[in-house]
Every structure is written in structure tokens, then in C-alpha cells.
Homo-oligomer: A and B are copies of this chain.
Amino acid sequence: MRRRRQDTGAARAPRPVPQLSHPFSPQAIFSDDAVADLHATALEVLETLGIRVLLPEARELLAARGARISDGDMVQIGADMVNEALRTAPRQFTLRAANPLRDREIAPGRLIFAAGGGCPNVTDRVRGRRPGDLAAFRDALRLQQHFDVIHTLAPAPEPQDIAPNLRHFAMTQAQLELSDKPLVVYARGRGQVEQCFEMVQLAHGLDFDRFAAAPRCATVINTNSPRLLDAPMAQGLIDFARAGQMVIVTPFCLAGAMAPVTVAGALALQHAEALAAITLSQMAAPGAPVMYGGFGSNVDMRSGAPAFGTPEHIQMCIGSGQLARHIGLPWRSGMGTAANTNDMQAAGETHMSLWGNLMAQATLVIHAAGWLEGGLTLGFEKFINDVEALEIIAHLCTPPEASAEAMGFDAIAGVPPGGHFFDSALTLARYREAFRSPINAEMANFGTWQEAGGATAEERATALWQTIIAEFRPPPGCDARADRIIDYVARMEAVGGAPILD
């Protein structure tokens, strides 16, 4: 197969990575009145039905601010508490990266991509489908670091070969060693979170106050729909808020399974759960950086499995965007596919959900590259093909030039009827930068393509990720940051790390 002219970016000099803003206006599936009704329904759910909160500390925190506790761990949260939280939750803030050129402003209208996260498995065309391990986790980080269109790091595949009590060391260490992008930390219990925060402070030479002044780490807090907030999630909300780190609140409301079968009903539940979690975060630390989130879809009624890229997924996404705008917060959404392999279904559902995110004007689009099997597997070839799509969208964020020269009267005048523009002065002056160059798509005609081996997009992607990983060099500063945590990690590992909180 012909070698792509892809710049694999080995040892690239740092350069600004422009922040993307959405190119399209946000769309609506509900009237403004219906959105207000959905918000009111969610408030009524919290006030009258309540949410089960398994962590005593969280219940006490909410009760101290006026929530009513019943049946042991049911917490009824009044609209006044929610409104107070929405007053203090910041509309915008900056998620810091080791490389300041990669800082991302988190604010409505911005467009930020993160790769697939949370996958227990990994697959590629060379080694097949297998449980995630640290080597694959590190390779996935190399791919994430390589492409500028991946803006913040995501945790996948799960390094299952590392003991759970030590895994957070390996995951944080890998990110510090290989990337200069904003970090991801799992909220799997206070002990692990505090050790991860400690590592980031050491790596960056920050005391706690300076660390807490601006988020460098993000975590996703999934509620356990319906209406349940478990202990590690509640603890994570509190700990991240108090350390000034970014919490992404994401109920995962599957219509017809863990949420009402209607799009509106699933959104009402999602909204209630998200508001409860945002309220807890703001009660723990007013002004803490928090994102609203929704990653709702439907279940397939045949298999009971989550579906993605469906009309209902897109509608839930757009409806989530309306709710996020209603409360004025930046918000995260997600892409995905239920496909089990790199086929047209995988690409189709992924693109459908990508565009749903654009219609919904999601601030942070998670699972934007590499997801397969509804997130159970991270695919390296899928990653490459998804990045192709993300780069196309990134390109669309800059409108085309509309100068008199660009409108081309002189160029048109210079080419006779039936002629061509290949050697027009306008073409010669601009052709190098005129069009985005694909990373993996092949435009050659059938005969040329077939003679060159007839490789599919999946097959070509293998060569590309292999080259990127083979030529990968960590960006400047990584070595120094990684060195600063070696002793700490050794010391903490020696005393057994920290357990996962159940």
C-alpha cells in the first residue's frame, strides 16, 4: 500500500491549536414552552420524588442546605436549592493543559472533542479484539495526543492488567508522560482521586491552592438512572468541586430501559438527575467548574441493547442542548455506535451522532473517536476513520473567504468556455491550502485504487495508526513532568495505592 503523505507529527514544535466554535446554529425539537415544562417537570421530580443518594456525606451536605431526607437515603431537593446552584455554577471557565496552547475555554458555543472513553476492550486489525491493557491504553493516548482535533484526553481502553488499587497511578502517569492535553481522572473513590490530584500537582509544581484555582483534570460523573447517585460518584462530585477540577455530570438515560420510553420523558429524568448532581457540586464548593451533560439514546427493542445514531439519539441530543441553554451552562454530549465491527453501520451511526451533537451545539463531544460496540471496545482503525470526520467538522468551523478575488470573476474571465482552471493564476496561488487534505480517505479512481491493492478505509487506517505510534515522541515537557512523580508513585505503590470505592 502506498504510503500516505500524512505528517505523523514526530517531534513537532508546539503551535497554537485554535479553539473551535460551532459552525451551525443550535436546533430545537421542542418549543421554548415545552423546554420550560421539561425543566419544571425535572424540578418537580427532585422536589416531590427525590433522588437516592448512597453517600452519607453527600446527604448531610444537601440536608444542611435545606434538602429533605426520607426513607434513609432518599433526598428531596427543592427548586430554590437548584436555582442557587445554577446561580453559582460558572458559565465559562478554562480547562488548563500542560501546554497552554492547548488550554480550552469551556463555554456555550465552543466545540471540544474527546476520544472514546470507558471501553473495557480494545481492537485493531493486527492483534484482534482483546481486554484492554496498559500498553493499549498508552497507544491510545499516543493517538489522542497526535491529532490536534482531539482536545482533551479520554480513559480507554481500561488497563485491566494493572491491579485496581494501582491502576490510577498507571493511567495518570501515562497521560503525564505522553501528552500535553487536559487530563482525565476517574472518580473511583477519594483515595484514588486525591492521589491523582497529588500527582498532577507534583508534575506541574503546583501547591494545592494554585492547583485548585483552575481545572486541569476532568471526570465524568454518571448517575445511576433512574434517580440514584452512588457513593463513588457522589464523593467524586464533592472532591472534584473542592479541588476546583472539572466535573462532567452525565446521566446515561436510555429511553425504554433506565428512563421513560419517550424522548421527552427520558430528558426530564436526565435533567432531574443532572440538576441534582450539579446542585451537590455547587453545595460542596460554590463556583466549582461543572458541565451539564446528557448522553441519552434509546434501547433497541429487539435486543434490549443501547442504540446510537438513531433518530431518538439525535433527538435526545438536541433536546439536551435546549435544556443546557435553558440553564445557561456549557454541556457535554456523546457520539457512538452499536456496531460490532468497522463497517458502514459503524461509520453511519457515528456520523449521525456527530451531526446530532452539532445540531445540539454540544460544548464537549465525548466518545468522538474509536468507539465501537456501544463503548465496550475502542477500535484503532475506527479511531482513525472517526478523526477524519472530526477534522472535516473542524475545517467547517472556518467559513470560506468571500473577497472579490475569491468570488473569482477574474479567474472565470481567464478561462475560456469548456476550458479548465488547473493552471489558472488563482489555482496556482492557492491550491496548496485550498482544500483539506484527507488523512485516510482515498480519492483515486477504481482502477488506480485496485491496482494499488484495493485497500479498504479500515485496512489503510491500520498502516496509519501503526506509523503514528511508531514515530511518536512525547511533546516537550512530558519527560520532566513524568520525572517529578516517580518517587511519589513508588512510595504510594509500596503502601498499596488506594482501593476503588464501591
Q: A residues touching B (Cβ–Cβ < 8 Å)?
A: 5, 23-25, 27, 29-31, 34, 37-38, 41, 44-45, 49, 51-52, 74, 129, 224, 226-228, 255-266, 268-269, 272, 298-307, 309-312, 314-315, 319, 338-349, 351-352, 355, 358-359, 373-374, 376-377, 382, 385, 388-389, 392, 395-396, 399-409, 411-413, 415-422, 424, 426-427, 430-432, 434-438, 440-446, 448-450, 454, 456-458, 461
Give complex CA distance A57, B380 in Å: 60
Q: Which residues on the B side are within 8 Å of A34 (C-beta)?
A: 402
Residue contacts A-B, CB under 8 angstroms, 12 given: A25-B27, A41-B409, A226-B421, A260-B412, A265-B406, A265-B408, A301-B431, A301-B432, A301-B435, A301-B437, A338-B443, A355-B355
Q: Is the CB of A265 within 8 A of B434?
A: no
Give complex CA distance A449, B436 in Å: 37
Q: Is the CB of B314 within 8 A of A434?
A: no
Q: Which of B264, B399, B412 interacts with A265 by CB under 8 Å?
A: B412
Q: Which residues on the B side are within 8 Å of A449 (C-beta)?
A: 340
Q: Known contacts being A261-B421, A266-B408, A407-B37, is A434 close to B351, with CB within 8 Å?
A: no
Residue among A406, A441, A445, A446 facing the most chain B CB atoms (10 A cut-off): A441
Residue among A272, A389, A399 facing the most chain B CB atoms (10 A cut-off): A399
Indicate how many identical chains form the complex.
Answer: 2
Q: Which of B260, B340, B389, B406 interacts with A424 by CB under 8 Å?
A: B260
Given contacts A301-B432, A309-B392, 8 further A-B contacts (CB under 8 A): A29-B400, A30-B399, A255-B434, A261-B426, A301-B437, A345-B440, A374-B445, A376-B446
Q: Known contacts being A228-B417, A262-B426, A443-B303, is A344 close to B434, with CB within 8 Å?
A: no
Q: Is the CB of B257 within 8 A of A444?
A: no
Q: Which residues on the B side are within 8 Å of A342 (C-beta)?
A: 344
Q: Is the CB of A435 within 8 A of B256?
A: yes
Residue in B closest to A342 when the chains form the complex, CB atoms: B344
9 A-B pairs closest in CB distance: A265-B408, A300-B443, A351-B351, A260-B408, A347-B347, A52-B417, A311-B395, A345-B457, A263-B400
Q: Is the CB of A435 within 8 A of B31?
A: no
Give complex CA distance A257, B263 in Å: 47
Q: Is the CB of A412 within 8 A of B227?
A: yes
Q: Is the CB of B258 within 8 A of A420?
A: yes
Q: Known contacts being A45-B412, A256-B421, A311-B436, is A343 close to B344, with CB within 8 Å?
A: yes
The minimal Cβ–Cβ distance linking A454 to chain B, given in whole angstroms, is 7
The minimal Cβ–Cβ distance linking A462 to chain B, given in whole angstroms, is 12
Q: Is the CB of B389 within 8 A of A348?
A: yes
Q: Which residues on the B side are within 8 Å of A420 (C-beta)?
A: 226, 257-258
Q: Which of B358, B412, B419 interacts with A49 by CB under 8 Å?
A: B412
The minimal Cβ–Cβ distance linking A105 to chain B, given in whole angstroms, is 23
Q: Is the CB of A352 within 8 A of B352?
A: no
Give complex CA distance A134, B426 in Å: 44
Residue in B closest to A44 when the chains form the complex, CB atoms: B409
Q: Is the CB of A41 within 8 A of B407?
A: yes
Give complex CA distance A359, B24 in Å: 8
Q: Which residues on the B side are within 8 Å of A358 (C-beta)?
A: 355
Give complex CA distance A306, B432 in Å: 16
Q: Which of B435, B445, B461 interacts with A303 by CB under 8 Å?
A: B445
The minimal Cβ–Cβ distance linking A348 to chain B, given in whole angstroms, is 5
Q: Is the CB of A457 within 8 A of B343?
A: yes
Q: Is the CB of B49 within 8 A of A421?
A: no
